[in-house]
Amino acid sequence: MDKRTLLAIALSILILVIYQEMVTRYYGPPPSPPSEVTKEAEKPAAADRAAIPPPAPAPANEAMPVELPVAKSAKDVRVETDNYIAVFTTLGARLKSFKLKHYRSSVDEQSPPFDIVTSARGVPLPLGVRWQGATPADDGSVVYAVQRGDLKLAGDAKGTLVFQGQTADGSVITKSFAFSGSTYPIQLEISLRAADNSARALEILFTDKSDHTVPNPAAPFEGLIALVDNKIKREPPPEANKAHEFSGDVAWAGFGHTYFFFALLPENGANHKIAVHQTGASVTASLSGPAVNSGAASRYLLYIGPKDLDTLKSLDKQLEKSIDFGYFGLISIPLLYVLHFSHRFTASYGIDIILLTVLIKILMAPLTHKSFVSMKKMQKLQPQMERLKEKFANEKEKLNKEIMELYRRNGVNPLGGCLPMVLQFPVFIGLYNALSTPIELRHAPFMWIKDLSRPDWEALPFTFADWHLGIPILTLLMGASMFLQQWMTPSAGDPNQRKMMMLMPLVFTFMFVSFPAGLTVYWLINNILSIGQQYWINRSV
**Same domain for 427 and 402:** yes
In a domain, 372, yes or no: yes
pLDDT tens digit string along 52-71? 344 444 443 444 444 445 55
In a domain, 20, yes or no: no
**Same domain for 384 and 310:** no
**Same domain for 524 and 477:** yes
Distance, in Å, from the CA atom of 303 to the CA atom of 33, rounded to the nearest integer, reads 32
Domain count, the chain: 2
Does residue 525 sit in helix, strand or coil? helix
In a domain, 531, yes or no: yes
- The domain spanning residue 129 has which CATH number? 2.70.98.90
Going 233 to 238 to 241 to 244, the CA torsion angle's sign is: negative
Domain end marker among 255, 288, 322: 322
**Same domain for 113 and 86:** yes
In a domain, 16, yes or no: no
What single letter denotes the amino acid at residue 538?
N
- Residue 272 confidence (pLDDT): 93
Q: Which of 44-58, 213-227, 339-353 has the lowest mean pLDDT?
A: 44-58
What single letter denotes the amino acid at residue 534?
Q
Distance, in Å, from the CA atom of 358 to the CA atom of 339, rounded to the nearest integer, reads 12
**Same domain for 374 and 296:** no
* Predicted confidence (pLDDT) at residue 310 exceeds the cutoff of 70: yes
**Same domain for 363 and 291:** no
**Same domain for 397 and 258:** no
- Residue 34 confidence (pLDDT): 40
- Residue 46 confidence (pLDDT): 40
- Residue 248 confidence (pLDDT): 92
- How far is CA 10 from each of CA 5, 13, 15, 494, 506, rounded to the nearest angstrom? 9, 5, 9, 17, 17
In a domain, 419, yes or no: yes
State the average pLDDT over residues 97-107: 92
* Predicted confidence (pLDDT) at residue 184 exceeds the cutoff of 90: yes
* Cβ atoms 146, 90 nearer than 8 A: yes
Long-range contact list for 414-419, CB < 8 A, 24+ apart? 414/3, 414/4, 414/378, 415/3, 415/4, 415/7, 416/370, 416/371, 416/373, 416/374, 416/375, 417/4, 417/371, 417/372, 417/374, 417/375, 417/378, 418/4, 418/7, 418/8, 418/11, 418/371, 419/371
- Residue 23 confidence (pLDDT): 45
In a domain, 476, yes or no: yes
> Per residue, what are the HEC states of 18-46?
HHHHHHHHHCCCCCCCCCCCCCCCCCCCH
Domain end marker among 290, 322, 354: 322
DSSP 225-283: EEEETTEEEEE-HHHHTS--EEEE-EEEEEEEESSEEEEEEESS-TTEEEEEEEETTEE
State the average pLDDT over residues 422-432: 79
Q: Which domain holds residue 124?
A: 69-322
In a domain, 113, yes or no: yes
Q: Which of 92-101, 208-217, 253-262 has the lowest mean pLDDT?
A: 208-217
Q: Which of 15-19, 125-129, 336-340 has the lowest mean pLDDT?
A: 15-19
Q: What is the distance of C-alpha 76 from the center of its chain?
A: 32
pLDDT tens digit string along 361-377? 888 877 777 777 777 77
Q: Which of 106-120, 189-203, 297-311, 480-494 has the lowest mean pLDDT?
A: 480-494
What single letter denotes the amino acid at residue 262?
F
Q: Is residue 327 very low, low, confident or very high in pLDDT (cuts 50, 70, 90)? A: confident
The residue among 390 and 324 whose pLDDT is bigger is 324
* Predicted confidence (pLDDT) at residue 12 exceeds the cutoff of 50: yes
Q: Is residue 144 very low, low, confident or very high in pLDDT (cuts 50, 70, 90)? A: very high
* Predicted confidence (pLDDT) at residue 192 exceeds the cutoff of 80: yes
**Same domain for 378 and 272:** no
Q: Which residues of 142-174 are buried (b: 16+ CB within 10 A; e: fewer)?
A: bbbbbbeeebebeeeebbebbbbbbbeeebbbb
Residue 350 bridge partners (DSSP): none
State the average pLDDT over residues 373-399: 75
In a domain, 222, yes or no: yes
Going 204 to 208 to 211 to 216, the CA torsion angle's sign is: negative
Average pLDDT, the chain: 80
Give me the count of residues in the chain. 541
**Same domain for 210 and 73:** yes
Domain end marker among 322, 352, 387: 322
Q: Is residue 282 very low, low, confident or very high in pLDDT (cuts 50, 70, 90)? A: confident
Sheet with 128-131, side-by-side order of all strands: 137-138, 128-131, 202-209, 282-288, 272-279, 245-248
Q: Is residue 428 very low, low, confident or very high in pLDDT (cuts 50, 70, 90)? A: confident
**Same domain for 336 and 238:** no
- Residue 440 confidence (pLDDT): 87
**Same domain for 258 and 190:** yes
Q: Is residue 230 very low, low, confident or very high in pLDDT (cuts 50, 70, 90)? A: very high
Q: Is residue 497 very low, low, confident or very high in pLDDT (cuts 50, 70, 90)? A: low
The residue among 40 and 331 whose pLDDT is bigger is 331
- Residue 66 confidence (pLDDT): 44
* Cβ atoms 69, 54 nearer than 8 A: no
- Residue 41 confidence (pLDDT): 37
* Cβ atoms 399, 389 nearer than 8 A: yes
* Cβ atoms 205, 77 nearer than 8 A: no
**Same domain for 180 and 301:** yes
- Residue 459 confidence (pLDDT): 85
The residue among 29 and 108 whose pLDDT is bigger is 108
